[in-house]
């Protein structure tokens, strides 16, 4: 128990003293996860809307595929992205391997099914009276889409938080695609894994605290938005 308390105190010291390796990992995590979240929201929301709102051929198989991808193992995504962006891969020329952009690409693949599947479910469950109301008030297609999304904004926020939680806590992609390079692609989760393996519990706990604090801050801001 003592080593845990000692680790916690050391963690506070590392964070408050502005330890460069710790804060570098924090920065890498925030950069990669923010980029991947933005892209997955920008692509996942319209795809989820289309999937939930319209009826078309192959809709059911696509939903099944997406639902399966919700449980996609992060190491598998890491492996696939690695295969594509390594020097021998089809996208090798883009030099994405061992970069934060590479990690963000993998994390986007991880978050996209979460955002799309949850948005589709939310849109499918929209009160049918909403569309009728919008049509009867004179809304065109664009206004129907935007208003429907706004009406289910809390559900979509929940989708975003779920996706953010998934990418914030993943290790496989960051480790395989990023390479866990100190001051460059080392994220909080890969750093925690590494430091724990080295027996450096304090560093691991420090990063764990920041990870928890980010998750808490995201949920707190969502709760604030809901109240508004």
Partner 1 sequence: MTQPTHLYTLCRISHYYGSKKVLDIDEFSIPAGTILGLSGPNGSGKTTLLKLLAFAIAPSHGEIRFNGRREYPMSARVRSKVTLMTQTPYLLKRSVLDNVVYGLKIRKDTKKLKQRAGRALAAVGLDFDTFHNRAWHQLSGGEAQRVALAARLILEPRALLLDEPVASVDAESALLIRQASLAARDKWGCTLIIVSHDLAWLNAVSDTRVSMEKGRIFSTHKEIVLPPPYQTIQTDSTANWVLPISSGRHISLPDKTGETALISADKIKIIQTSENQSDERNRIPVLVTSMALEPKTGDIEVDFDADTFRLTLLLSKEQAGALNMQPGKKSTLVFRTQDIFWR
What six digits make up the tokens of 74? Answer: 């992060």
* In the complex, least distance from residue 40 CB atom to partner 1, rounded to whole angstroms: 25
In angstroms, rounded to a whole number, what is the distance separating the alpha carbons of residues 85 and 66?
Answer: 23
In angstroms, rounded to a whole number, what is the distance separating the alpha carbons of residues 46 and 164?
Answer: 18
Interacting positions 97-136 with partner 1 (CB under 8 A): 127, 129-130, 132-133, 135-136
* In the complex, least distance from residue 159 CB atom to partner 1, rounded to whole angstroms: 17
What six digits make up the tokens of 175? Answer: 């480790």
Tell whether residue 222 is a contact of partner 1 (CB under 8 A). Answer: no
The residue among 198 and 226 lying less far from partner 1, judged by its C-beta, is 226
Tell whether residue 224 is a contact of partner 1 (CB under 8 A). Answer: no
In angstroms, rounded to a whole number, what is the distance separating the alpha carbons of residues 223 and 46?
Answer: 24
* In the complex, least distance from residue 226 CB atom to partner 1, rounded to whole angstroms: 11
Binding track over 132-161 against partner 1, x by CB under 8 A: xx-xxxxxxx-x---x--xx----------
Torsion of CA 114, 117, 121, 124, to 10 degrees: 140
What six digits make up the tokens of 27? Answer: 């920065």
Residues within the interface to partner 1 (CB under 8 A):
127, 129-130, 132-133, 135-141, 143, 147, 150-151
């Amino acid at each position: 128990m003592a080593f845990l308390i000692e680790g916690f105190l050391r963690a506070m010291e590392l964070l408050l003293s502005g330890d460069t390796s710790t804060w570098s990992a924090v920065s890498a995590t925030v950069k990669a996860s923010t980029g991947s979240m933005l892209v997955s929201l920008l692509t996942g929301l319209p795809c989820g809307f289309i999937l939930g709102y319209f009826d078309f051929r192959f809709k059911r198989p696509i939903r099944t595929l997406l639902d399966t991808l919700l449980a996609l193992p992060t190491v598998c995504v890491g492996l696939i992205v690695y295969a594509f962006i390594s020097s021998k891969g089809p996208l090798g020329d883009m030099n994405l391997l061992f970069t934060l952009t590479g990690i963000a690409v993998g994390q986007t693949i991880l978050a996209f099914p979460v955002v799309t599947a949850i948005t589709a479910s939310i849109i499918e469950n929209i009160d049918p009276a909403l569309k009728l109301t919008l049509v009867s008030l004179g809304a065109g297609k664009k206004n129907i889409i935007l208003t429907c999304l706004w009406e289910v904004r809390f559900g979509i926020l929940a989708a975003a938080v779920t996706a953010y939680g998934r990418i914030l806590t993943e290790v496989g992609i960051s480790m395989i695609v990023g390479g866990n390079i100190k001051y460059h692609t080392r994220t909080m989760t890969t750093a925690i894994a590494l430091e724990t393996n080295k027996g450096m519990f304090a560093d691991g706990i420090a990063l764990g605290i920041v990870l928890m604090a980010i998750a808490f801050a995201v949920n707190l801001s969502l709760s604030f938005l809901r109240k508004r």
